A = this chain, B = another copy of it.
Amino acid sequence: MRYSKLFGRTSKEAPHDADSVNARLLVQAGFINQLAAGIYTYLPLGLRVLMKIKTIVRQEMDAVDGQEVLMPALIPKAPWETTKRWDAIDVLFKLKGAGDKEFALGPTHEEVVTPLVQQYVKSYKDLPVSVYQIQDKFRNEPRAKSGLLRGREFAMKDMYSFHTSLADLEHYYDRVKQQYLTVFSRCGLDAIITEASGGVFSKYSHEYQVATPSGEDLIYQCDACQWAVNREIAQVKKGDACPVCGKGIVLEIKAIEVGNIFKLSTRFADDFGFRVALEDGSAGKVWMGCYGFGPSRVMGSIVEVHHDDAGMLWPKSVAPYHVHLVSLSHKDEDVKRQIDEAAQDMHDELEAADVEVLWDDREEVRAGEKFADADLIGIPLRLVVSEKTLAEGSCEWKERHEIDARLVKLKDVQEQTKEWLSAPERLTSH
């Protein structure tokens, strides 16, 4: 992709009203654009990141036998009355349709998925089953803030599992709990499994927390066994001996919540009278789990964790492009043509090897500005072609998280880039 043709440019100034690092950098770099508080448009660079995060979570939910569905955002009032949540959820956006019929815009989908599964699942033989969707949710937040971290409209992956017993739910819950670590790790985040309030349905839920100084949450974690708990329910304080392993010391950590999973027990199935025929012919209760993951929130969290003063540092797995190719223009027409041709060749070679390239081909822009834009955008590998590098038959190779650059021969670039791309991620949260 030629940067000169890309829709959504960097701007020289940071937005004056950004209340968080992710909002500031994502807006300034041309990844997202704010339409209203907590409501954003994804520009091409930002949408590529969001889609990669969605693909990762889709693959990992498929790996735990989740089946993808897509439920509507518009949900009639009736099921919310069945669960007594029409008035209980304070962030519910409500609206009226033709004939004064009332609807809510779904901030969560227990009210849709429970009666849906009830229509198809009649017998214990049909269970367990787990369905998920990647869909836009709505929350009427009184104070939307922090860029992509707390929005009024945002992407969610919500999965719901159904079981004939608590034991089966717990077995599946543990499986998803582990798989979530893979999802976050593939997104370049070291997530900490943290005990949190389970509400009325179970003793604990589990949150996935990522340590960062800008985090809104405070968690306590043992420095030996890694056990962690949210301050909201913590019975320990900083410096205490770990109540779980007895060996470590409890640390206090600022963190962002990037996912959560709940055991819902039989609460929603009971509300809808959802029972299944058991082997002995009796009508058995149905146990549910739910598993949330916010792709847009995760995108914002990655920026909170992976940035420096110059801009963002995207992990290879979710970067909008793998390579930021920069060609430096030249006054001499012949030299300029040579540089352009070399850059074009490199672009074509890399794309042919499935390497995604953003090519800053702008003619009127100085080198310093191009480098500043590349740092801001944060693509993990920058390759520069200039008169100087071509004199050596080379380009300049600089990884975003490293300070030094080096020369790589043009004939070796494709090979080395492929190697670099398949090597393990070096960017982690800590």
| Interface set, chain A 355-371, CB cutoff 8 A to B | none
In whole Å, how far is A4's beta carbon from the nearest beta carbon of chain B? 9
- Which B residues are in CB contact (< 8 Å) with A153? 72-74
**CB-nearest residue of chain B relative to A91?**
B98
Q: Judge whether A248 is part of the interface by a CB distance below 8 angstroms.
A: no
CB-based contact B140/A72 at 8 Å: no
Instruction: Kindly state the separation between the CA atoms of A187 and B393 in the bound complex, as whole angstroms.
Output: 48
**CB-nearest residue of chain B relative to A129?**
B7
Instruction: Kindly state the separation between the CA atoms of A71 and B47 in the bound complex, as whole angstroms.
Output: 10
CB-based contact A98/B142 at 8 Å: yes
CB-based contact B97/A70 at 8 Å: no
Question: Interface of chain A, helix or strand or loop or mixed?
Answer: mixed
CB-based contact A35/B112 at 8 Å: yes
Pick the most buried of A7, A33, A41, A152: most chain B CB atoms within 10 A of its CB.
Answer: A7
CB-based contact A36/B142 at 8 Å: no
> Interface size for chain A: under 10, 10 to 19, 20 to 34, or 35 or more residues?
35 or more
CB-based contact A6/B116 at 8 Å: no
Copy number of this protein in the oligomer? 2
**CB-nearest residue of chain B relative to A97?**
B140
CB-based contact A42/B69 at 8 Å: yes
CB-based contact A70/B98 at 8 Å: no
Q: Judge whether A150 is part of the interface by a CB distance below 8 angstroms.
A: no
CB-based contact B140/A98 at 8 Å: yes
Contact code string A1-43 (vs B, CB < 8 Å = 1, else 0): 0000111110000000000000000000010010110011111
Given contacts A112-B41, A131-B7, contact A70 B50 (CB under 8 A): yes
- Which B residues are in CB contact (< 8 Å) with A40? 72
- Which B residues are in CB contact (< 8 Å) with A141? 98
Q: Judge whether A68 is part of the interface by a CB distance below 8 angstroms.
A: yes
Q: Judge whether A67 is part of the interface by a CB distance below 8 angstroms.
A: yes
| Interface set, chain A 97-124, CB cutoff 8 A to B | 97-99, 101, 103, 105, 112, 116-117, 119-120
Pick the most buried of A44, A69, A71, A131: most chain B CB atoms within 10 A of its CB.
Answer: A69
> Chain A residues in contact with chain B, CB under 8 A?
5-9, 30, 33, 35-36, 39-44, 47, 50, 65, 67-76, 93-95, 97-99, 101, 103, 105, 112, 116-117, 119-120, 129, 131, 136, 138, 140-143, 152-153
Shortest 5 CB-CB contacts between residues of A and residues of B: A95-B95, A42-B70, A98-B142, A7-B67, A39-B72
